[in-house]
Structure 1
Amino acid sequence: MELGRQLARLTAGIDGLYRAANRGAGFLNAEGLIPVAMAAGIAPQPLRDYDEAEEALIDFRSRLGDAETALRRDWLDEMSDSLLALVATFRGDPISFGERLERQIRVPLKAVPQPIIDGLHSEIRSALDELGFRGGSLAEDHARWAEGAVIPTDTVLAVIADYQAEARARCAARMFAFDDEWMMPVGCNAAPFSAYCDYPSRQMLLNLDFPYTAFSLKHLATHEAFPGHLVHMKLREIAVAEERMPLEAAQVVTSSASSALYEGIADNGLHFLDWIEGPEDRLGLALQKLRSALRCTAAWMHHGEGRPLDEIVPEIAAASLQDLTTTRSRLAFLAHDLRAPFVHAYWCGYTAVNEIWTSVETERRRDFWAFLYGHMHTPRTLARHWERA
C-alpha cells in the first residue's frame, strides 16, 4: 500500500508538470496525463522539472523489492518504466515510436499483420453473404448494407440509452450489480473521439458527426458503461476506498502501462455479457476489430515510417470500409503527442484479454473477472499471473 501511495503521488506530480507545459486550448490537452482520479486528496509529489521526475522514478524503482506479491512487483516495474518513457517524451528526448509502444503501452506490436486483416475481411464477407448482401465487391456489398443500417442522428441517444439499460441488467445478472449507476448519453460535435466516458459527471458523450449502426451503439454502451469503463472505475474507486487496492488504482493514466487493459476490458464487454447475437452482430464485431487493427497500422505508418496522413488516409479508408471523412476524423488524434501511441491500447488490450477469456472455463469466469478488475495489469502481467492463479 505504501508503494501505491508513493506511485500515485509521483504520477500526480508528473501530471502537474505536463499540464503546466500544455495549457493550450483543446479537449485532449485539458485532460492532462490523468484524465480521471477516483480518489480525492492525492497530494502530488513536488517536482521542479522532468529531470527531478526521472530521478524520483529511478529511486522508486529501487524499492520494488518491497512489493507485497510478485504480481504487484511486476505491475509496478512496468508502470514505473512506462512513466519514465513518458517523462522522456515530455522532455523531448530522442525516443522512437516503437520504443514508446513497447515501454509506454507495453506492447511489441507495430502494424497488425496482413493475414489478420485478411481474416477479418473474410469474416465480414461471410456475414454480408448471410445477410443477403452479395454479388458485388466487399466494399460494394458493405456499402449497400451500411446505407440501410445507419441509425438516424436524432434517435442515436435514445437507442444507446436502451442498449445501456439492457447492458446494465445483463451485467448485474452475470458480473457486477450497479443498478444505481448510469451514464447519461449526451450529444456533441467536432470532438476528437466517437464516444467518451465522463466518469465524474456520469455522462456518455457521443460525437454526432459520426455515423452509428445498431451494433456500434450496442458496443459503445458496453465499452463506456456496463461492464466497461463505468463499472471498471467504480470497482477501483470502491476497492481503493476500502483499502483492497493500492492508491495508484484510483488514477486513469493516459498512454501508460495501464492503458491496454483499461481499453481491453471495455472492448470485451459484449463477450463478457454473452451478447453477440446473429449475423449483424458478427458483422459489426468484425468491422470494429478491423478498424481497431487498422488504426494501429495507420499510427505505425505515420509515426514509425514517417508517412504523411494525406497518403495514409485513403489506404486505411479502403481497407477499413469507411469513407475518407470518417477515417480522417478517426485518425486525427495521431497529431497529439501524448495520445499518438494510445490507439494500440484498443487492439492489443482487446486481444490480451480475449485470448485468456476464450480459455476460461465457465465455472471460473467469476474468478477471472475478480482477478481482471481487482488488480492493476498490463498485457504481460495478466497473462503471466492468471496462468499462475
Structure 2
Amino acid sequence: MEPGKDLAEITAGLDRLYRSRTSADGFLNAEGLIPVAVAPVEARAFDSYDAVRAALAALDERVADADIAPLRRDYILEMTDSLCALMDTFEGRPISFADRLSRQIRIAPGPVDEAILDEYRVVMRDALDELGYRSGDLAADTARWEAERQVPPEQVIERLADLTREARERTARFMYDLSAEWIEPVGVTDKPFSAYCDYPGRKVLLNLDFPYTIYDLKHLAAHEAFPGHLVHLGLREIYVRDGAMPLDGAQVVTSSASSALFEGIADNGMAFIGWTDTPDDQMAVNLQRLRSALRCNAAWMRHAEGRTMEEIVPVIAAASFQSEETVGGRLAFLNHALRAPFVYAYWAGERAVDAVWQTVAPDERARFWASLYGQMHTPATIARFRETHG
C-alpha cells in the first residue's frame, strides 16, 4: 500500500475548500495552500473541514497498519497532523503559535536563542577581520562591507542572470545536469517577498524595492534556481511522472510538515555546489543566517507575545543591521494567517539540512541528494536519511 495518491488527493481537496472560503485579494491569497503542483492531482470533494479531518484520520489508520518503510510512515503521519493544525487556523479554532510551529513546521517552538545568534556574529566578525574591516564595531563594519558590494539597481537583473548561469554550470558539474533548464529573472515591486520562484512560468521574480549585494544575488541564484527550487521541483516532476516518487511529491504545501525541507534544500544550495569558499562567502552566509533567525524572532514577538509591528521593526532592524524600511518590507507577510509560521521554515530548514550535510562524506553525497530531492522529508526524517525510506 502506497498512500501518496490518497494524501495528494486529500490535500488537493483541502486546498480547493480553503480557496473557496478565502475571498481576500492579494498575491499570497492567490497562492492558496498548494502554490505549485508539478503533476495533475484529482482533488477529493469536501464540504467541510471536518470531512477533511475524517479522511486524514482514515489515512492515518491505513498507514499505521501498512507495510511501508518507517521513514515514509513517519513522514505521512507528520504531514497529516500538520494539515489538521492548518485547518484549526482556517476555522479560527484556538491554537497557539507554539503549537503551529511544532505541528505545522515540525520544529521546537520559541525564539532563536541568543547563543546561536552570537555564533553567526562570531563568524561574521572573523570574516570581516580577514577582509580588513576592523573598526571593532560589527554594525559599522557590516554596513561598510555591504555598501562596497551593493549592486546598482539598474544592474541587479543582469547580475542575477549571470550568477544563475554560473550556478547552473556548477550544479551540472557537482550534482544534477539540468543545463537545458532556464529560469528568467524578472524585476517586480511592491510584493511581500524579496524573490519568488515561479516554476510553471520559469521566472524568478525579484523585488526591486530592496537593495542587493552581489552575495545576496549569489544566494538567490542558488536558492531559487540551481540547485534550489527549480532543480528540486524539476526533479520531483520527473520522478513523479516516472513513478519513482509517490504522487504527494508533486505538491508544494505551504506551512506544512514539508515546508522546512523545501526551503532548507534551497538555502543549502551554495554549499552543495561548493560555492562558499571565501571570507566574503562566509560573511554573507552567516549574515543571511542571522537575518533569517531574527525574522523568526519577529514572528515570535508578533504571534506569541502579541507585540505590534511598530514595536518589532526597530528592534529587528537594529539587530540585523538593516534599515527599518527594508525590515518592514521583509516582514510584510507576518500577519497573513496561512503564512504566519512559514518564516521559520527558512531558518529551521537550513539548519536541519546543514546538520546532516556536515556528516555526509564525499562518497555519500549522491545518496544524500537522492534522498533529499527524491523523497519527501520533515526535519525529523531527514536526520534519519540513512535508514531505508522506501
TM-score > 0.5 by shorter chain: yes
- Secondary structure, aligned partner of 1:386: coil
Could you give the per-residue CA deviations for residues 45-89 of structure 1, whole angstroms, max 9, x where no partner exists? 000011111111111111112252112111111001101111111
- Equivalents in 2 of 1:167, 1:155: separation in Å? 18
- Equivalents in 1 of 2:279, 2:387: separation in Å? 33
- Equivalents in 2 of 1:67, 1:241: separation in Å? 24
Question: C-alpha displacement at 1:174, in angstroms?
Answer: 0.8
The percent of aligned pairs where both chains have the same amino acid is 55
Contact conserved, 2:127 with 2:280, CA < 8 A, in 1?
A: yes
- Equivalents in 2 of 1:168, 1:36: separation in Å? 22
Question: C-alpha displacement at 1:25, in angstroms?
Answer: 1.2
Question: C-alpha displacement at 1:27, in angstroms?
Answer: 0.2
1:214 is aligned to: 214
1:229 is aligned to: 229
Q: Point out the more displaced range, 138-147 or 110-119.
A: 138-147
Alignment of 1:1-389 (within 5 A): 2-40=2-40, 42-64=41-63, 65-66=65-66, 68-386=68-386
Question: C-alpha displacement at 1:140, in angstroms?
Answer: 1.5
- Secondary structure, aligned partner of 2:193: coil
- Equivalents in 2 of 1:177, 1:109: separation in Å? 38
Letter in 1 for 2:85: A
- Equivalents in 2 of 1:2, 1:74: separation in Å? 13
- Equivalents in 2 of 1:380, 1:132: separation in Å? 41
- TM-score normalised to the size of structure 2? 0.97
- Equivalents in 1 of 2:365, 2:135: separation in Å? 42
- Secondary structure, aligned partner of 1:62: helix
Letter in 1 for 2:101: L
Contact conserved, 1:23 with 1:30, CA < 8 A, in 2?
A: no
- Equivalents in 2 of 1:235, 1:386: separation in Å? 20
- Equivalents in 1 of 2:190, 2:385: separation in Å? 42
Question: C-alpha displacement at 1:387, in angstroms?
Answer: 5.5
Gaps of 5+ in 2: none
Could you give the per-residue CA deviations for residues 296-352 of structure 1, whole angstroms, max 9, x where no partner exists? 111111101111111111111111111110011111111101001001111111111
Letter in 1 for 2:91: R
- Equivalents in 2 of 1:284, 1:382: separation in Å? 26
CA, structure 1 residues 215+254, in 2 after alignment: closer, same or farther (shift >3 Å)? same
Could you give the per-residue CA deviations for residues 222-256 of structure 1, whole angstroms, max 9, x where no partner exists? 00011100100111111111111110100000000
Contact conserved, 2:183 with 2:204, CA < 8 A, in 1?
A: yes
- Equivalents in 2 of 1:19, 1:334: separation in Å? 20
- Secondary structure, aligned partner of 1:79: helix
Letter in 2 for 1:76: I
CA, structure 1 residues 250+67, in 2 after alignment: closer, same or farther (shift >3 Å)? farther
- TM-score normalised to the size of structure 1? 0.97
Contact conserved, 1:3 with 1:67, CA < 8 A, in 2?
A: no
Q: Point out the more displaced range, 377-386 or 205-214.
A: 377-386
- Equivalents in 2 of 1:158, 1:201: separation in Å? 19
- Equivalents in 2 of 1:178, 1:19: separation in Å? 34
- Secondary structure, aligned partner of 2:245: coil
Question: C-alpha displacement at 1:134, in angstroms?
Answer: 2.0
- Equivalents in 2 of 1:387, 1:331: separation in Å? 38
Contact conserved, 1:105 with 1:255, CA < 8 A, in 2?
A: yes
Q: Point out the more displaced range, 60-69 or 156-165.
A: 60-69
Letter in 2 for 1:48: D
- Equivalents in 2 of 1:300, 1:73: separation in Å? 31
Contact conserved, 1:5 with 1:246, CA < 8 A, in 2?
A: yes
- Equivalents in 2 of 1:106, 1:320: separation in Å? 26
- Secondary structure, aligned partner of 1:146: helix
- Equivalents in 1 of 2:329, 2:282: separation in Å? 25
Question: C-alpha displacement at 1:2, in angstroms?
Answer: 4.4
- Equivalents in 2 of 1:51, 1:367: separation in Å? 40
CA, structure 1 residues 2+45, in 2 after alignment: closer, same or farther (shift >3 Å)? farther
- Equivalents in 1 of 2:175, 2:103: separation in Å? 32
Letter in 1 for 2:12: A
- Secondary structure, aligned partner of 1:281: helix
